[in-house]
Structure 1
C-alpha cells in the first residue's frame, strides 16, 4: 500500500530536485550536449541548436555558469569573441548523460520517431 502521509511527501530527494530544476529547463540539455564536445563560440552554439533565441541561449549559459558548470571565456580578438566550455563539474556529467541517452534510445524511441 502506498504511503500518502505528509512525512512521505517530504522525503523527495533534494539532490534530484536540484538537478532537474537546472537541467530540466528547455534548451539546457542541448547546450550541455554541444559543449561536451569542446569549447564553442556563442554564435556557433546558437547555430548548433535550431530554434533557440540569443536571449534564451544567453540566459541558459548564465544559469549554467552560476551553477558552476560552464565558464565564459573572452577572446579579445579582433574581433571580440566569447567562447563557452564546461568546467570539470560540467564535464563530469558525461557518463550520466550518456546513460540517459541510451535509456532514451531504448524507451523513448516511439516518441522520437513521431517527431521526425
Structure 2
C-alpha cells in the first residue's frame, strides 16, 4: 500500500469514527454503561430525554458496531442487560477526556 492509499484509508477510518460518536445519544449511552451493565429501563432512566424507540435503535446500532453486548439473564422474570464490549469500553475511556474538557470549559465565557 502506497503512502497516498494509507492516507485515504486513515481519513476514512477517522471520518467513520467521528460519524459514530457524533450520532445523537451514543456517547451518553456509553457513559451510562461505563460503570456496569444496565437494563434498558436503567439506561432510559439515566437519559430521560431519550425516547424508548430511539434508545432501542441506538442499542441495536451499537450491537452491530460491536460496542455493546445484549445479555439475556434467564431468571424469573427474564431480564436483559446491556454491557460494553472491550471495543466499547476503549471508546468510553477515550470519551473520558472529552468529559474532562467539558467539565473544565463548557459553560465558561
Q: TM-score range by the shorter chain?
A: 0.7 to 0.9
1:84 match: secondary structure: strand
Count how many residue pairs are aligned between Structure 1 and Structure 2: 102
- TM superposition score normalised by structure 2: 0.83
Q: Report what 1:89 is aligned to.
A: 87
The match for 2:47 among 43, 46, 49 is 49
1:73 match: secondary structure: strand
- TM superposition score normalised by structure 1: 0.78
List structure 1 runs of 4+ shifted beyond 6 angstroms.
none
The match for 2:22 among 21, 24, 36 is 24
List per-residue Cα deviations over 1:14-56 (Å, max 9, x = no partner).
Answer: 2221112111111111100000010001111111111111110
User: Relative CO higher for 1 or 2, CA cutoff 8 Å, sep ≥ 6?
Assistant: 2
Please give the root-mean-square deviation of Cα atoms over the aligned residues, in Å. 1.9
Distance (whole Å) between structure 2 residues aligned to residue 45 and residue 69 of structure 1: 15
Q: Rg bigger for which structure? A: 1
